[in-house]
């Protein structure tokens, strides 16, 4: 990891740059695949599944037999771990329910809002070198709690055409209604336009690589919403001398092993801590099964020494990390001052892995600086709010004259007339 000592503020943008490709480099590929899917449906999806995943797919949908067989392939210990995580995630997301908001703004004028579930949602679950079945818990559980009627899941198959059994098991357990063995750009395209097999959805959720992220963003051009631009994983840790260097190194590596385009950053006011963490990274890296991936991600990463906690916090808010770990004697300062972060982890015994799996919070979070304007996935992500209003005669008499004046001032005569006719009738 590059060690950077007391950088000038003018250097921050370059230091904090993410290791991502330019969107323009990817858009052309996405648009080409989208166009084919619109025209050829399943045939185009199967073509790109064979090209990218190395398997010729005759049937895109996972069969009931495959799903049932997956249950027997999962150990009882893993089932128990999934159940514990599921219970905590359900508990935290169920607590996010809110009641109807109703206000009488003027005598005879009642306004209220109610939340309704998005009827059709699509979940994208990465497969490949790390089948993220935990993401199913994070997405399907709140979708079910919200009341979504159709929950469609797409995940890439292996070269044998099979889906990791833990993905199938978790999907069934969490109420996914249909599972498709489709990954990458073609999965996002299939859920965007709909094919002979894959239903069109109203909103797409889930993490993915840069190609999936750009595909999701381009899907919004076709009246499909997305949760957020969630691309390669990232983690920033602030650690002072109260931190455990081994713990910090393990957290940094836990994100580095996600993929070669992941990024991890340590910010500290202690050069001693930075050096200790650097040594621990080298030590722990040697024992990782995904060492080659983590090493490349570490090449994108930084160890940054700053002069003060205030400067550290300013730099962290400028970066807007997906995951932010605070290991500091002055943790209240950081929790009070943080403005831009997807999810925050506090103290030496709060690893980021806990949020990834079983503490209860959601791990589908904004990356690439989008924590400055996006929230992570939550119960409301699967719902939309509809406003209602009911105006009685006394209410329109009270606010009607003001509406007439406002409409007239904007030159909208029909707007004014819609009120005037009612007022004239009431005046008789």
The residues that are catalytic are 322-323
* Residue 96 annotated as part of some ligand binding site: no
DSSP string, 379-420: GGGGEEEEEEEEE-HHHHHHHHHHHHHHHHHTT-HHHHHHHH
* Residue 410 annotated as part of some ligand binding site: yes
Give the three-class secondary structure for 126: coil
Q: Dihedral of the CA atoms 257, 298, 326, 230 (nearest 10)?
A: -60
**Placement of tokens 């040697």 in the chain:** 286
> What H or E segment, with its residue span, contains residue 2?
strand 2-5
* Residue 186 annotated as part of some ligand binding site: yes
CA distance 267 to 315: 9
CB 131 within 8 A of CB 157: no
Give the three-class secondary structure for 291: helix
**Placement of tokens 């063995």 in the chain:** 181
CA distance 136 to 142: 10
DSSP string, 19-70: ----HHHHHHHHHHHHHHHHHHTHHHHHHHHHHHHS---S--BPPHHHHHHH
Residues 6+ apart with CB under 8 A from 235: 251, 252, 254, 255, 263, 264, 265, 321, 322, 323, 324, 325, 352
* Residue 357 annotated as part of some ligand binding site: no
Q: What is the 8-class DSSP label of residue 334? A: H
* Residue 415 annotated as part of some ligand binding site: yes
* Residue 255 annotated as part of some ligand binding site: yes
The pairing of beta strand 101-106 with beta strand 109-117: antiparallel
* Residue 217 annotated as part of some ligand binding site: no
CA distance 181 to 198: 10
* Residue 356 annotated as part of some ligand binding site: yes
Give me the phi and psi of 358, to 5 degrees please.
-140, 0
Pick out the residues of the known binding site for NAD(+).
124, 186, 209
Pick out the residues of the known binding site.
124, 186, 209, 233, 255, 258, 323, 356, 410, 415
Pick out the residues of the known binding site for Zn(2+).
255, 258, 356, 415
């Amino acid at each position: 990891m590059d060690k950077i000592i007391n950088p000038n503020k003018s250097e921050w943008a370059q230091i904090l740059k993410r290791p991502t490709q330019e969107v323009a480099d990817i858009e052309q590929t996405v648009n080409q695949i989208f166009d084919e899917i619109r025209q050829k449906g399943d045939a185009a999806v199967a073509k790109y599944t064979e090209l990218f995943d190395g398997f010729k797919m005759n049937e895109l949908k996972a069969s009931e037999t495959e799903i049932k067989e997956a249950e027997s392939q999962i150990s009882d210990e893993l089932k128990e771990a999934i159940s514990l995580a599921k219970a905590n995630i359900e508990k935290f997301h169920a607590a996010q329910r809110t009641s109807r908001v109703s206000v009488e703004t003027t005598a005879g004028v009642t306004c209220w809002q109610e939340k309704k579930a998005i009827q059709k949602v699509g979940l994208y679950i990465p497969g490949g070198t790390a089948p993220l079945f935990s993401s199913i818990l994070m997405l399907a559980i709140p979708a079910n709690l919200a009341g979504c009627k159709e929950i469609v899941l797409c995940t890439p198959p292996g070269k044998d055409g099979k889906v990791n059994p833990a993905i199938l098991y978790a999907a069934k357990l969490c109420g996914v209604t249909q599972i498709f063995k489709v990954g990458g750009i073609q999965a996002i395209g299939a859920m965007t336009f709909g094919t002979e097999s894959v239903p069109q959805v109203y909103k797409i959720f889930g993490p993915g690589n840069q190609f999936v992220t750009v595909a999701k963003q381009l899907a919004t051009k076709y009246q499909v919403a997305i949760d957020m631009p969630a691309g390669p994983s990232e983690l920033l840790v602030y650690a002072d001398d109260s931190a455990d260097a081994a713990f910090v190194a393990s957290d940094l590596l836990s994100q580095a092993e996600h993929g070669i385009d992941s990024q991890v950053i340590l910010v500290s006011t202690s050069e001693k801590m930075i050096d200790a963490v650097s040594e621990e990274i080298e030590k722990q890296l040697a024992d990782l099964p995904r060492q080659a991936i983590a090493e490349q991600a570490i090449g994108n990463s930084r160890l940054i020494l700053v002069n003060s906690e205030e400067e550290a916090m300013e730099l962290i808010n400028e970066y807007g990390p997906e995951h932010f770990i605070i290991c500091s004697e002055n943790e209240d300062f950081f929790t009070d001052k943080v403005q831009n972060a997807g999810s925050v982890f506090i103290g030496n015994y709060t690893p980021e892995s806990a949020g990834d799996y079983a503490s209860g919070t959601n791990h589908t979070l904004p990356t690439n600086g989008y924590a400055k304007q996006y929230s992570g996935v939550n119960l409301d992500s699967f719902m939309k709010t509809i406003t209602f209003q009911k105006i009685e005669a006394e209410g329109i008499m009270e606010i009607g004259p003001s509406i007439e004046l406002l409409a007239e001032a904007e030159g909208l005569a029909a707007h004014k007339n819609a009120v005037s006719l009612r007022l004239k009738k009431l005046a008789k």
